[in-house]
Amino acid sequence: MKFIHSGKVKDVYEVDEKNLLFHFTDRVSAYDVPMITDIKGKGEILCKFAEFWFNYLSTRNHMVRLDAKDKMVVKKLDMIPLECVVRGYLYGSLYERYCSSTDIPDLGTNLKIASKLNQPLFDPTTKSKIHDLTINEEQIRAQGILTKDELRYLKDTSIRLYKQMSELSNKAGFIMADVKFEFGKDLESGDIILADSLGPDEFRMWTEETYKEGQEQVSYDKQYLRDWLTKIGFRDKVKQASENGTNPIPPELPTNVVSELLKRYKYVYEKISKI
């Protein structure tokens, strides 16, 4: 096999002219910064979760087969350079934009953090190796990324899949606050199909038991790591480094943070996959 590239958490290899192999590694990143500490066992969970959702969701996807516990063979696609984020709750960067009234759709007034939105919001971003940026539908069409019909299909499909994932999550006692999808075009038919992966690195998950509007939530996803990094001041360092045009040096992750993150990934997978 030919090595293609290393992403933030996956290594990609060429199997043949039609297929790639994804190796889900134990790497983890936060705030677009790769951590120097691996999360042993994380790659296997992400691979299993991706397989589960690809099999469950009612849409075409690029999965061909699992090649090992942390490896998946997928079809080559012409990837669409967007991250199709769907948000059901006011949280994370959406809440920050809401508070600053920056590049934000009309969501209403006086909403609290973690408020449920009236309707799921399609909130796409650019796809970058450095930092993803919010992009609206008009900009997507103006830049020639997608046609009007393709964008409508991508938006409708993303919202439909979020609702399907959210419904199953609810049955397992969770709230899926938001999720990120990626899509690509089939090299033979040109059809748009679901791609990349789906797991705790791509969605924000809370428990119904601990959810409370107006406060920060207990997360069973990568938000747990982001919260810890924010607590120790690393997020401020990331912002400062970005302003200075430098790269921040990530901290070593403590054993208890590593074990707790893995524990939460395992817990949400086991609960949802057994429904």
Residue 164 lies in a domain: yes
- Which residues constitute the domain of residue 96? 78-207
Residue 59 lies in a domain: no
Residue 255 lies in a domain: no
Q: What does the DSSP 8-state code read for residue 162? A: H
Residue 57 lies in a domain: no
Residue 52 lies in a domain: no
Q: Distances in Å between the alpha carbon of 118 and those of 39, 89, 90, 158?
A: 36, 9, 10, 17
Q: Over the Cα atoms of the chain, what is R_g?
A: 18
Beta bridge partners of 5: 12
Give per-residue pLDDT as tens, 4-51.
999 889 999 999 999 999 999 999 999 989 999 999 999 999 999 999
Residue 103 pLDDT greater than 80, yes or no: no
| C-alpha closest to that of 134 among 200, 197, 82, 91 | 82
How many separate domains does the chain show?
Answer: 1
Pairing of strands 192-195, 174-186: antiparallel
Residue 6 lies in a domain: no
Amino acid at 155: K
Question: Can you give the CATH number for the domain in which 82 is found?
Answer: 3.30.470.20
Residue 40 lies in a domain: no
Residue 102 pLDDT greater than 70, yes or no: yes
Percent of the chain with pLDDT over 90: 90
Residue 266 lies in a domain: no
pTM of the model: 0.94
